[in-house]
């Protein structure tokens, strides 16, 4: 039985690419039209894991996914970084002058702002997924529409790459989390994702951060999200990294005294960036 991985989007999407990179090619990907659907698949046991994008080096954090992490309380068992290379993809034979519409995921569109600004007459349309926009061109033989998607999508759906590497920043990378319903023990874990709330007193967040600093635990990411229905209250999501397990354990003991609703979302092995 192949391991089943729920992904947002269709085959040849960046989520599928990330799944292959983490798990290898001998997996079955389950296509889902939304991130919420991927979580439902995992919750219902129809998928073994979810691969979920959480941040992009250009577009920033994908905030709605933090809400899903909070609501579903899955365990983060790993991460994977993917270099995102965007291409302008068309139906075979279509030339640049034929293009009137460009369709892609909103984040992919933002990643290619500079290139798109050279073509002010094009109508930009937002789609659910980069690869789905490519598939739509192939399925409907669209001769006036281009998609922004991966070379993998062009190959899978029999399309042509009109312009390669149209992303503005060539160091464009997305970080994906690997989610599981069960805790998977990670030997040699050196990174953790945590969530907590602090009081409103002056310096309350600084006190927490100081606990990490004193134990030589590196804070690699911090994200705040409003607590639903509570004014001026925030959930803090942090990623921390350590070299010595004992430093991390001591930091957690200290942090517990300064926080409420503290939650270890996952302890896993840091994935070195691509």
Q: What is the pTM of this model?
A: 0.93
3-class SS at 35? helix
Q: Which CATH superfamily is domain 87-163 in?
A: Periplasmic binding protein-like II (3.40.190.10)
pLDDT at 230: 84
- Which CATH architecture is the domain 3-83+173-180 placed in? 3-Layer(aba) Sandwich (3.40)
CB of 25 closer than 8 Å to CB of 3: no
Question: Same CATH topology for 3-83+173-180 and 191-268?
Answer: no
Q: Among 148, 241, 172, 178, which residue's Cα sits nearest to residue 24?
A: 178
Could you state, in order of their start, the residue ranges of all structural domains in the chain? 3-83+173-180, 87-163, 191-268
Segment 112-124, tens digit of pLDDT: 999 999 999 999 9
Q: In angstroms, what is the C-alpha Rg of the chain?
A: 21
Arithmetic mean of pLDDT, 119-140: 96
Q: Which two tokens stand for residue 218?
A: 């590196």
For CA atoms 98, 154, 168, 65, the dihedral sign is positive
3-class SS at 182? coil
pLDDT over 80 (residue 86): yes
For CA atoms 207, 212, 216, 221, the dihedral sign is negative
pLDDT at 186: 86
Instruction: Quote the CA–CA distance of 222 and 231 in Å, as a whole number.
Output: 20
Q: Which CATH superfamily is domain 191-268 in?
A: ACT domain (3.30.70.260)
Segment 213-254, tens digit of pLDDT: 999 999 999 999 998 888 888 999 999 999 999 999 999 999
pLDDT at 114: 96
pLDDT confidence tier of residue 263, bands split at 50, 70 and 90: very high
pLDDT at 22: 97
Arithmetic mean of pLDDT, 254-273: 94
CB of 259 closer than 8 Å to CB of 195: no
CB of 84 closer than 8 Å to CB of 14: yes
CB of 43 closer than 8 Å to CB of 67: no
Segment 15-44, tens digit of pLDDT: 999 999 999 999 999 999 999 999 999 999
pLDDT confidence tier of residue 274, bands split at 50, 70 and 90: low
Q: What share of the chain is helix, strand, coil (3-state, %, to 5)?
A: 30, 35, 35
pLDDT confidence tier of residue 201, bands split at 50, 70 and 90: confident
């Amino acid at each position: 039985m192949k391991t089943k991985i729920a992904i947002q989007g269709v085959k040849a999407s960046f989520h599928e690419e990330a799944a292959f990179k983490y798990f290898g090619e001998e997996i079955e990907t389950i296509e889902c039209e939304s991130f919420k659907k991927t979580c439902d698949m995992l919750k219902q046991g129809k998928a073994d894991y979810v691969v979920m994008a959480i941040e992009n080096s250009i577009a920033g954090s994908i905030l709605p996914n933090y809400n899903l992490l909070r609501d579903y309380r899955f365990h983060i068992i790993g991460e994977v970084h993917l270099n995102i290379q965007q291409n302008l993809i068309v139906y075979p034979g279509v030339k640049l002058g034929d293009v009137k519409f460009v369709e892609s995921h909103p984040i992919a569109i933002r990643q290619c702002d500079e290139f798109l600004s050279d073509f002010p007459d094009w109508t930009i349309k937002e789609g659910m997924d980069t690869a789905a926009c490519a598939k739509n061109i192939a399925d409907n033989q669209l001769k006036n529409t281009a998609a922004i998607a991966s070379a993998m999508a062009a190959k899978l759906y029999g399309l042509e790459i009109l312009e390669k590497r149209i992303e503005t920043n060539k160091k464009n990378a997305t970080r994906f989390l690997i989610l599981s319903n069960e805790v998977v023990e990670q030997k040699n874990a050196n990174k953790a994702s945590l969530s907590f709330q602090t009081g409103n007193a002056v310096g309350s967040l600084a006190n927490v951060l100081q606990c990490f600093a004193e134990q030589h635990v590196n804070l690699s990411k911090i994200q705040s999200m409003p607590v639903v229905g509570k004014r001026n209250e925030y959930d803090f999501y942090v990623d921390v990294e350590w070299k010595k397990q004992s430093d991390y354990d001591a930091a957690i003991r200290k942090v517990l005294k300064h926080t409420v609703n503290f939650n270890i979302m996952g302890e896993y092995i840091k994935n070195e960036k691509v």
